[in-house]
Homo-oligomer: A and B are copies of this chain.
């Protein structure tokens, strides 16, 4: 992980882990997110019929383990998670960050086995679907099929952007890109106040995790973060990402405003 250096591990099972409960879709916390379009009453009814309840996952907990069977998918109701792949020798690549409304676990629903692990970065609530019931939902209700494909296409687009960052951007631009991408995602899902003077996203991410997402060493990540902070462009500490000059950073990164259509969710 992050190019050598000692590593953290999965950490312990505490009592609060994975409490599960059930709320009607009417009160779904996703309903009033600015960048999301809520399903109508008819859709909600279908969703309620197919889902298997909710689950709360505390910060730091691993939700799905790479290599595990992967018999369920979920939609993120609240919180932020990290999707990552491990190589045999311990190197780790953080592949993407998941926000409220995102659908997680689709790939494993086909492959049978998780190609990546998923870990909660904040306390999180998830809406669970057993794999088979989810497939029914998709094949019986064209509207859901359409939405799932829509979400897949978006996810693919996000991965392409990350790929461009890793392949073409130098460290500094890379970090700025990631910060911006996260903040934009936060704006979209209502985690970032759109009117505040300095766009700020509160998510605990360690420098090691940033390093593993951007393919940089931990040390170099640290130095790059400091440089960006000193330049007044991005101020990112372990708790929160602040972008004092949003427009400057957008220009540096070549921000494409096309990336912000309203997203459906399931």
Interface residues of A (CB under 8 A from B): 85, 87-89, 91-93, 95, 106-107, 109-111, 113, 115-116, 135, 138-140, 142-143, 145-146, 148-150, 152-157, 159-160, 162-164, 166-168, 212-215, 254, 258, 261
Q: Indicate if the CB atoms of A109 and B168 lie closer than 8 Å.
A: no
Q: Indicate if the CB atoms of A163 and B164 lie closer than 8 Å.
A: no
Give the complex CA separation of A113 and B258 in angstroms: 9
Give the complex CA separation of A155 and B258 in angstroms: 22
* Residues of B with C-beta under 8 A to A93: 163-164, 167-168
One of B148, B149, B159, B261 near A159 (C-beta < 8 A): B159
Contact A111:B149 (CB < 8 A) given known A159-B156, A160-B116, A215-B167:
no
Q: Indicate if the CB atoms of A152 and B156 lie closer than 8 Å.
A: yes
Give the complex CA separation of A155 and B106 in angstroms: 12
- How distant is A140 from chain B, measured CB to nearest CB, in Å? 7
A contact face: mostly helix, strand, loop, or mixed = helix
Q: Indicate if the CB atoms of B160 and A111 lie closer than 8 Å.
A: no
Beyond the given A110-B154, A111-B157, could you list 19 further A-B residue pairs with CB under 8 A, ordered by the A residue number?
A85-B160, A87-B254, A91-B168, A93-B167, A106-B153, A107-B156, A109-B153, A110-B261, A111-B153, A111-B261, A115-B157, A138-B142, A139-B145, A142-B142, A142-B145, A148-B149, A156-B156, A156-B159, A159-B160
* Residues of B with C-beta under 8 A to A152: 106, 149, 152-153, 156
Q: Indicate if the CB atoms of A160 and B115 lie closer than 8 Å.
A: yes
One of B135, B145, B162 near A163 (C-beta < 8 A): B162
- How distant is A72 from chain B, measured CB to nearest CB, in Å? 15
Residue in chain B with minimal CB distance to A116:
B160
Q: Mind listing 15 A-B residue pairs with CB under 8 Å? A: A87-B254, A88-B254, A89-B254, A93-B163, A95-B163, A106-B149, A110-B149, A113-B258, A138-B146, A139-B142, A139-B143, A156-B156, A159-B163, A166-B167, A167-B213
Give the complex CA separation of A107 and B113 in angstroms: 25
Give the complex CA separation of A63 and B184 in angstroms: 31
- How distant is A69 from chain B, measured CB to nearest CB, in Å? 13
Give the complex CA separation of A80 and B230 in angstroms: 47
Residue in chain B with minimal CB distance to A91:
B168
Give the complex CA separation of A220 and B171 in angstroms: 19
Contact A95:B168 (CB < 8 A) given known A142-B145, A145-B149, A149-B149:
no
Give the complex CA separation of A142 and B142 in angstroms: 7
Contact A110:B153 (CB < 8 A) given known A139-B146, A142-B140:
yes
